[in-house]
Structure 1
Amino acid sequence: MTSTLPVPDSQGHDPRTGSDGTAARHPGREDLWHPALFYRSPEEYLATAVPFLAEALTAGHPAAVAAPRKSLTLLRDALAADPALDPDAVTWVDMTAAGRNPGRIIPGVLRAFADRHPHAPVRIIGEPIWAGRSRVEYPACVQHEALINAAFTGRPVAILCPYDAAALDDRVLADAAVTHPVLVDGDVTTVSDRYDLGLGVAAGNRPLPDPAGPVVELAIDDSTLMRARTTVIEQAVEAGLTRERALDAELAVNELTCNTVIHGGGRGILRIWTTGEHFVCQVDDGGHITDPLAGRRPVPPHVPGGRGLLLVNQLADLVRIHTGPGATTIRVHFDRPPRPRDGI
């Protein structure tokens, strides 16, 4: 069975939502529409996702899918099976690569696509949370989903976010109700009575757990910036990163430490350690990041500055931030190469 999605008004509410929780279809919209889709089988996924894309393709509107490879294959095959639909008219993005760090999905995937079509109604399927996401990554994923609502306010963009309800924990589905104004479950679409932008953003702004294992620590001020760079490269190479990724880590930390000196009170602490999977660098200072979209908003070419945290998000495999008045912690993770297995 295929389902046709109702489109709520500019506040995320459909005034024609019935007492049974269903909602009638709205013919069009001028603002962001950001529903979560709960599916439990490939058939349920396709029943909503295919019509969502087909309506855009039939109207000649831009459409993109950013999802894990399994979902990309499923959707592309379904579109190819319909002679009226051209899967090559859709932009396909492997979310496990482009969205490895949730902090780069908005600028590098969603805004990158939508900004190429500034005057057209844009439809995107974005699946940033899947069963393979780690506990370390998950709070950043929740915050990302919440920030979509702020990043696209006032733009004619529809972003459908599928959630595999058969594989994900109930807590994940509950968080989706907080970060999405609209919920689609089978043939029923409802306004989420738990939607709370502030709560969703706050989910990713919590104190970070203490490092596990030995930590290399360096005081940061304007006299130790170069030493910080060389220390990061040395520790990254020792942790097994390639030379290229070690230089990426150096560049990311240099951006953070320079921001500490310029914007974070002039002094801070750099901490470096490794886990089984990650090379981790953390910078603590006395600054306060008041803009929750900092590092996620593309900067126009003619505007000087404002790209430091954006660059950090592009370089790192994960960025976690805890910020408040007088104190900010930014922790960047770089994946360590898999260790070779012993064998014969």
Structure 2
Amino acid sequence: MSPTELTTDRDGGAAPFEHLGLLYRTAADYLTGTVPFVRTALSAGDPVLVAAPKANLDLVRSALGSDARRVGFADMTVAGRNPGRILPGVLLDFADSHPERRVSIIGEPVWPGRTDIEYPACVIHEALINTVFAGRDAAILCPYDAQRLSPRALADAHRTHPVMEHLGTRRPSDAYADPLDVAAGFNQPLPAPPPETATAAYRGQASLTDVRRFVTQQAEAAGLAADRTAELTVAVNELVSNTIEHTTGGGSVAAWSERDTFVCQVEDTGHLADPLIGRLRPAGGASRGRGLVFVNHLCDLVRIHTRPGRTAIRLHVLLSASGP
């Protein structure tokens, strides 16, 4: 069932989940789409979160005046720097903190300045929102800068949002596609590491100490700050531990620097068949999948390519940025 097929009213069970793509070209366009969305929710007594880049946060906060005190705000360039962190750490955290309430969220995960290497994770995030929130009592509005974003980004906005809005007019998206198919389309092989990449093989629990030492030495040599080095080492240790627990073979860790980023890649013989692993906190006391949520929290970007017999998980940490 698609999100737009949920038609029961708010007193009769699940209300429709709305996932709207908002196209804007100017600050005035932005406010025309976002402020009425916020005020409508506030009038209904619903909790509201605005998660967007700081300049757009300031626009909305100023336009709301005193009503801004009733709204939550999050700088998406910080909270959502890693697109894989947005679903569990921003959207679901907010929704789950208001149980049995309809929530309204403005989430802007794609903005001018997102890099090409970040972009696939952004589209996967937008697609999977439709799967994760289907049946929930929620409305999520995602602004897209139609003036400065690429045609590809705008086309993908139409593929990942059942309804598009522009200048106050909403229309069903003719290009909307199955969320899992869209996500699968971005499960592509990652670019090859550079020739000078340092690597370390591992196999069995006894390898964990050597892996941690390898990551720490490589990160320190690259100039990564001590706190970020410690976080990255924990993240890699988590992935390697999962390999040892869930696969019959060993794996390898590669480490290198590219421009302003330090990168570690963990490769093994496993297969992550569920595209939602790492995007959802496991229910109850389940441990399966919890590790990748933690890894997403620690890193500035996580890219994954998986197929039967091989999974590569690439962790990116900015050399000049503070931790999450």
Instruction: Sort the TM-score into its range (normalised by shorter chain).
Output: over 0.9
TM-score under structure 2 normalisation?
Answer: 0.93
SS of the residue corresponding to residue 16 of structure 2 reads coil
| Matched ranges for 1:1-344 at <5 A | 11-12=3-4, 30-80=15-65, 86-196=67-177, 197-222=179-204, 223-300=206-283, 302-304=285-287, 306-337=289-320
User: In the TM superposition, what is the alpha-carbon distance from 1:225 to its structure 2 partner?
Assistant: 1.6
Which whole-Å CA distance do the structure 1 matches of 2:110 and 2:185 have between them?
15
**C-alpha distance in structure 1 between counterparts of 2:224 and 2:148, whole Å:** 32
For residues 292-327 of structure 1, give each alpha carbon's deviation from its aligned partner in whole angstroms, at most 9, with x where no partner exists. 111111234644454110110000000000111111
Larger radius of gyration: 1
CA contact (8 A) 1:14 1:191 kept: no
Letter in 2 for 1:133: R
DSSP-derived class of the 2:279 partner: coil
Partner amino acid for 1:220? Y
* Alpha-carbon distance in 2 for matches of 1:171, 1:193: 16
3-state SS of the aligned residue for 1:224? Answer: helix
Q: Deviations over 1:162-203 (max 9, x none)?
A: 000001011100011111111112232111121111332124
Does the C-alpha gap of structure 1 residues 37 and 27 become closer, same or farther in structure 2, counting only changes over 3 Å?
Answer: farther
SS at match of 2:252: strand
**Contact 2:300–2:318 (CA under 8 A) maintained in structure 1:** yes
Say whether the 8 Å CA contact 1:252–1:312 is kept in structure 2: yes
Range with bigger deviation, 65-74 or 52-61: 52-61
Matches of 2:61 and 2:4 in 1, distance apart? Answer: 29
SS, match of residue 64 in structure 2: helix
CA distance in 2 between counterparts of 1:218 and 1:337 reads: 25
Q: CA shift at 1:337, angstroms? A: 1.9
1 or 2, which has the higher helix percentage?
Answer: 2
Question: In the aligned structure 2, how far is the partner of 1:64 from the partner of 1:74?
Answer: 14
Identify unmatched segments of 5+ residues in structure 1: 1-8, 16-25, 339-344
Give distance in 2, aligned partners of 1:175 and 1:144.
12
Letter in 2 for 1:125: I
Taking only the aligned residue pairs, the percentage that are identical comes to 48
Q: Distance in 2 between matches of 1:59 and 1:76?
A: 19
* Long gaps (5+) in structure 2: none
Give the Cα–Cα distance (whole angstroms) in 1 for the partners of residues 282 and 67 of structure 2.
33
Quote the offset at 1:133 in angstroms: 0.3
Runs of 4+, deviation exceeding 6 Å = 26-29
Cα 1:246–1:261 shift into 2, 3 Å: same
TM-score in terms of structure 1 length: 0.88
Give the whole-Å Cα distance in 2 for the aligned partners of 1:284 and 1:236.
18
